[in-house]
Amino acid sequence: MTSSFDSLWAELAPVGRDPGTGGYRRFAWTREDAALREWFAGAAAARGLDLTTDRAGNQWAWWGDPDADGPGVVVGSHLDSVPDGGAFDGPLGVISAFAALDALRAAGYSPARPLGVVNFGDEEGARFGIACAGSRLLTGALAPSLALALRDGSGVTMGEAMDRAGIDTAGVAGDRETLRRVGVFVELHIEQGIGLADLGRPVAVGSGIWPHGRWRFTLDGEANHAGTTRLADRHDPMLGLAAAIMCARELAGRNGVLATCGKVVVEPNGVNAIPSRVTGWLDARGADPRSVRAMVGEFAAALPTGSLAQESWTDATPFDSYLVSRLAALLEGAPELPTGAGHDAGILANAGVPAAMLFVRNPTGVSHSPAEHASRDDCLRGVAALTAVIRDLA
């Protein structure tokens, strides 16, 4: 099968790739993000699609007029990444969306409903801490005043970063008008586990997203000299951090959930200084929200009072059951799989938009890592599946 997939993939591949690790550093409202947005606009223009940016900073490319003839069928995903992320998480969905449109056009298909491709901004929350910030802003799940005040690791607010990227921050708001254009949303994504590899199938339909959240905890100590402060005289918050991380792991096992401490900030971060303060982040998820909440409650109880603060929480999100069954039947009985990864499709589903996902096999299940991979053949099977889904829905 020839497909525009390869050329789209090749265009995007160098943007934000770290030559050292081979991983991607594509953070919201940076130079790399601007290059990704420019690429999206170019791909839309090359196809004669109408480009709009909504009040939350998400990009939409429309084939047809969603206001006159909508609501439309929307496909797409995000282009940003976690630190040293893989090439597939997000971009596979956007590239497959354009490739599916190309396949439909090449087949002479003309949709009865408008078709949209979306690039949701800041899905990973890698810079400002809140995942799916673009879709949460769009749907009203995240207040603009809160979002604009979020700070990155250098103290730059999201508002300042958006301003530098040329966004009129006074206009940042929930955007019902844009949301009304979306009759149904299907997000194709690389699978971030080994469900499909185990089943020996290339494509699955996402059935839902586990409840998940992020918490920040701060432990204070007393900065002092590494060579002159007796062990008994130290107030070393690093010890508290080590104990907290071990505790999170233990509690996760006991409650049957997942818990991760993947980010810490140490102040002042000097090799020969006892830290004055450490900040850690807990990511907790699981199939059962009560178990996740129980784990986090026990974790909070093990920390100094008041040191744990919730940064985000997303409830269990089942995708539209009619849509899931319809897509699974359409795709020759594709398996239906839940996921512990968060997605913009979940945010839209929680806002009442009929939404579903397609997952493409990841042979090792590794994700949020430069080792994330899907074979070209499976990617093209994903494009074919998405093309069939659009035909069916539009």
* Under rule CB under 6 A, residue 240 binds ligand GLV: no
**Residue 131 touches which of ligand GLV, Mn ion, none (CB < 5 to 8 A by kind)?**
ligand GLV
- Distances in Å between the alpha carbon of 224 and those of 30, 173, 245, 268, 304? 36, 46, 23, 11, 21
**Residue 208 touches which of ligand GLV, Mn ion, none (CB < 5 to 8 A by kind)?**
none
Question: CB of residue 125 vs ligand GLV: minimum separation in angstroms?
Answer: 7
Q: Which of 186, 173, 161, 160 is nearest to 134 (CA)?
A: 173
**Residue 90 touches which of Mn ion, ligand GLV, none (CB < 5 to 8 A by kind)?**
Mn ion
* Under rule CB under 5 A, residue 89 binds Mn ion: yes
How much of the chain is in helix, strand and coil states, percent to nearest 5?
40, 25, 40
**Residue 221 touches which of ligand GLV, Mn ion, none (CB < 5 to 8 A by kind)?**
none
* Under rule CB under 6 A, residue 117 binds ligand GLV: no
Q: Which of 60, 101, 24 is nearest to 344 (CA)?
A: 60
Question: CB of residue 336 vs ligand GLV: minimum separation in angstroms?
Answer: 19
Q: Give the nearer residue to Mn ion in terms of CB position, either 131 or 148.
A: 131
Q: Give the nearer residue to ligand GLV in terms of CB position, either 131 or 282.
A: 131
Question: CB of residue 30 vs ligand GLV: minimum separation in angstroms?
Answer: 18
Question: CB of residue 263 vs Mn ion: minimum separation in angstroms?
Answer: 14
* Under rule CB under 6 A, residue 341 binds ligand GLV: yes
End-to-end CA distance of the chain: 23
- C-beta of residue 331 within 8 angstroms of C-beta of residue 203: yes
* Under rule CB under 6 A, residue 131 binds ligand GLV: yes
Element (H, E) at 323: helix 321-330
What is the DSSP pairing of strand 224-225 with strand 203-209?
Answer: unpaired
- The correct pick among 23, 90, 121, 221 for binding Mn ion (CB under 5 A) is 90
CA dihedral angle for residue 99, residue 25, residue 40, residue 95, rounded to 10 degrees: 10
Residues that bind ligand GLV (CB under 6 A): 124, 131, 341-342
